[in-house]
Amino acid sequence: MTNLVIMESPSKATTVKGYLGSSYKVVASKGHIRDLPKSTLGIDIDRDFEAHYINIRGKGDLIRDLKKEVKNADRIYLATDPDREGEAIAWHLVNALGIPANKAKRVTFNAVTKSVVKEGIKHPREIDMDIVNAQQTRRLLDRIVGYKLSPFLWKTVKSGLSAGRVQSVATRIIVDRENEIRAFEPKEYWTIDAVLKTSGGKTFTAKFHGPKSTGEKMDLTCREEAEKIWNDVRGKTFLVDDIKLGRRMKSPAPPFETATLQQEASRKLNFQSQRTMRVAQELYEGVNVGAENGGVQGLITYMRTDSLRISDEARDAAKAYILGKYGEQYYPAEPRVYKSKSGAQDAHEAIRPSGAMLEPAVIRKQLTPDQYRLYKLIWDRFIASQMESAELSTVQTDLTAAGWLFRSSGYTVKFPGYMALYEESTDDRNPPDEEKAARLPQLTKGEELEAESVAPEQHFTEPPPRYTEASLVKLLKENGIGRPSTYATIITTITTRGYVKREGKSLVPTPLGEVTTKLIGEYFPDIVDSQFTASMEDQLDGIESGRDTMLDVLRNFYGGFSKELDKAFEAVGDHEVEVPAEETDIICEKCGARMVVKNGRFGKFAACPNYPACKNTKPLAQTGDGLVEKKTEVAAEKCELCGADMILRSGRYGSFYACSRYPECKNTRQKNRPLGVSCPECGADLVMKHGKNRSVFYSCSRYPECKFSSWDLPLKDRCPKCGGMLYRKKGKNLILCKTEGCGYKAEVPEEADAPEADRPADGLN
């Protein structure tokens, strides 16, 4: 009997192929093979939202190959990813490939390990149409919003804009925070710190708390209040009035789910959400960790989940590791069980290592730096989540002087527990007191202390911080906006479409983002309403569970949306909204104006706002801190026509050098890219050049002194037969040696599969 297993990812297919016997053939669909057409809506609204799916362009050969495999197979296992998108891909495969119902079997793998894969194959099921319809509903909703709302933005703002059901909400959240920051009025407050010295010569800091008579906290709002207390206590002896000793147990954080993984990877590893999910996908699909560690295997469980559940087998494995590594005192009396939040989909476990005993350090050499760092984060968090709590010994000391109360707090770790392995980080600008506290010297009640210094200090309250990827994902999760599979795509979409920009780790709305958010909020309030979007997510969950139907959800949404759309077009008429120019910090050296960002054929550049009176422009570069002036690269040689500097410019066909006195001097010169290969005739560097019709060739950098050139690409490797230079034949997958009399030829080694292209975003247009 011939068994065919169809997966999404070629790399995961390769991993699974090694687990199954010779009677199984494993192939990959490389994501979706059908989708709605790009050029039209693809939905017949009048016929109960009938969707017109077509084969994705460029996948014709793949579909033909898959059809041949299906025809020759007795049983077909659809092993696409274990989520809504994967269920929909399985359904599309059945329809596009004409798989008979009696042959099609749906299987899912929560982790790509030999035992999990074999167990999954043993328990096939039918395709769950409730899950498929939940995905279809999301896709149709987003297509309707995108295709109906985008033309409204083209008419009122500018052509080429797009709107999305979830991206619009995320943009509004960032815009609202920016408006809060602008409206914020700082308020003055003061603190007083006393540096005190014990009889043993040790020092520590105590902070002003309030009057001793009441013991209540007193806020100092002006200089006069602070100076009065400062004058009262300076030069005075401080008395240790009270010492409170305590004990606090600190529990570990639960294992990761998608949102917390993205947040912690942003804080600890400085990963953007998209990078986190890409690396997590690699760890899930399978990595060759060496024959001694099991060969090719998936290292983590499925990474798109909002569940905190873990299997009994995983919990037992963690227990065995903790007892063996740390001892009995590091494992709690009862195994830890974490409860998922209300509304979480519990189809998958939390994100955890697929094998708890496979320590990150053991396989570090087999992983890329990003894979190792993320795997270690996941592994540490999971093991720590099963460990005993940490025990902290706390101390709070009250000190008095001139009737005023000062307070100092500290703690020591009596027993580290899970903290021996891992501690969760935080976005808070004001961490809990025990995280700020220092270790206090030994003090005795009634002891008198001298003050080395007493210093009042002025402060001002700060506005709320801008969102980072970590804090935005946290908010989206808390408000039920999006799902684990969409968080990274939401952020990528709003940044690539120019509604939001990055400044360091902060997400900042652009003028375009603010204008479109205001416009959509005025005419389509539901689209940018967080509660409405969250309720739509609940309805999608209802379709998956069988509580709601796809048709009812689509009808209810479109009824109100279509009326809003008609009113909006009627209200705006021919009115156009002007988008304010985005200012930069670059000052025009010709007229002194602050330059603004403009879009050109080759990307963004800085231009003087006084155009056409001042035509000064500067190239811009995207950095982690946003758009900055691009440093001008100056050529080593001067302009041969006028003697001025030659500087690097960008053009239609790539980079080139131009005279810095342009337009007075219009001399240009092609920038030649070094190959890192020595010329076989003179030993100088070989460079890539452009000939007629922009054709590429390779020549010596000492031309015209050395006239070596080649249409074929010279390689660093030497011929194994004669030791001469090897070339890659232009336009062919062939390596050859041109040394006379040698005749060596070889095919180009097959390259590894390219990373799987992103599937159409689940929940985004």
Q: Tell me what pLDDT residue 429 has.
A: 57
Q: Tell me what pLDDT residue 752 has.
A: 32
Q: Is residue 749 very low, low, confident or very high in pLDDT (cuts 50, 70, 90)? A: low
Lowest mean pLDDT among 34-38, 153-157, 691-695: 691-695
3-state secondary structure of 638: strand
Query: Does the structure show a pLDDT above 90 at 702?
Result: no
Alpha-carbon distance of 129 to 347, in angstroms, equals 16
Buried b / exposed e along 365-401 (16+ C-beta atoms within 10 A): eebeebbbbbbbbbbbbbbbbbbbbbbbebbbbbbbb
Query: Does the structure show a pLDDT above 50 at 764?
Result: no
Alpha-carbon distance of 515 to 518, in angstroms, equals 5
Question: For the segment 32-58, what is each residue's pLDDT rounded down to a tens digit?
Answer: 999 999 889 999 999 999 999 999 999
First to last CA, the chain: 42
| Residues 687-706, mean pLDDT to the nearest whole number | 77
Query: Does the structure show a pLDDT above 80 at 496?
Result: yes
- Phi and psi at 51, nearest 5°, equal -90, 140
Q: Is residue 759 very low, low, confident or very high in pLDDT (cuts 50, 70, 90)? A: very low
Which of the given ranges, 220-229, 424-433, 587-596, 751-760, has the highest pLDDT on average? 220-229
3-state secondary structure of 583: strand
Q: Is residue 430 very low, low, confident or very high in pLDDT (cuts 50, 70, 90)? A: low
Alpha-carbon distance of 513 to 494, in angstroms, equals 9
Question: For the segment 177-204, what is each residue's pLDDT rounded down to a tens digit?
Answer: 999 999 999 999 999 999 999 988 899 9
Query: Does the structure show a pLDDT above 80 at 753?
Result: no
* Percent share of the chain, pLDDT over 70: 91
Query: Does the structure show a pLDDT above 90 at 411?
Result: no
Whether 345 contacts 537, CB under 8 Å: no
Query: Does the structure show a pLDDT above 60 at 383?
Result: yes
| Residues 497-508, mean pLDDT to the nearest whole number | 91
Q: Tell me what pLDDT residue 624 has.
A: 56
* Percent share of the chain, pLDDT over 90: 62
338 CB burial (10 A radius; 0-12, 13-18, 19+): middle
Q: Tell me what pLDDT residue 437 has.
A: 53
Whether 218 contacts 210, CB under 8 Å: yes
Single out the residue of 492, 425, 473 nearest to residue 259, CA to CA.
473
* DSSP structure string for 123-190: S-B---HHHHHHHHHHHHHHHHHHHHHHHHHHHHT-TT----HHHHHHHHHHHHHHHHHHH----EEE
DSSP run (H or E) holding 736: strand 734-737
Query: Does the structure show a pLDDT above 70 at 434?
Result: no
Question: For the segment 235-262, what is each residue's pLDDT rounded down to a tens digit?
Answer: 999 999 999 999 999 999 999 999 999 9
Lowest mean pLDDT among 381-390, 488-497, 545-554, 591-600: 591-600
Q: Tell me what pLDDT residue 509 has.
A: 95
- Phi and psi at 223, nearest 5°, equal -60, -40
CA 214 centroid distance within chain: 50
Single out the residue of 463, 531, 472 nearest to residue 173, CA to CA.
472
- Take residue 661 and report the two structure tokens written for it: 């006195």
Query: Does the structure show a pLDDT above 70 at 385?
Result: yes
Q: Tell me what pLDDT residue 754 has.
A: 30
**Domains assigned to the chain:** 3-127 (3.40.50.140), 141-184+468-572 (1.10.460.10), 188-251+390-460 (2.70.20.10), 258-385 (1.10.290.10), 712-753 (no CATH)
Which of the given ranges, 59-63, 609-613, 689-693, 702-706, has the highest pLDDT on average? 59-63
Which of the given ranges, 26-35, 353-362, 418-427, 597-606, has the highest pLDDT on average? 26-35
Alpha-carbon distance of 165 to 161, in angstroms, equals 14
Query: Does the structure show a pLDDT above 90 at 345?
Result: no
Lowest mean pLDDT among 470-474, 519-523, 752-756: 752-756
Q: Tell me what pLDDT residue 586 has.
A: 87
Q: Measured on CA atoms in the order 540, 545, 548, 554, is the torsion positive or negative?
A: positive
Q: Tell me what pLDDT residue 441 has.
A: 87
Alpha-carbon distance of 531 to 515, in angstroms, equals 22
- Dihedral, CA of residue 259, residue 262, residue 268 and residue 269, to nearest 10: 170
| Residues 674-697, mean pLDDT to the nearest whole number | 78
Query: Does the structure show a pLDDT above 80 at 71?
Result: yes
More confident residue, 375 or 680: 375
Question: For the segment 718-733, what is each residue's pLDDT rounded down to a tens digit?
Answer: 888 888 888 988 877 7
Question: For the segment 598-657, what is each residue's pLDDT rounded down to a tens digit?
Answer: 877 667 788 999 988 898 888 787 665 566 666 666 776 788 788 888 887 766 656 677
Catalytic residues: 302
Q: Tell me the average pLDDT of the chain.
A: 88
Query: Does the structure show a pLDDT above 50 at 229?
Result: yes
Lowest mean pLDDT among 291-300, 334-343, 457-466, 628-637: 628-637
H helices of 249-326, in order, are 258-269, 273-285, 312-325
Whether 381 contacts 250, CB under 8 Å: no
| Residues 444-464, mean pLDDT to the nearest whole number | 95
Q: At what angle do helices 530-545 and 129-156 cross, to 10 degrees?
A: 150
| Residues 356-372, mean pLDDT to the nearest whole number | 92
Q: Is residue 412 very low, low, confident or very high in pLDDT (cuts 50, 70, 90)? A: confident
Report CA Rg, the chain: 32
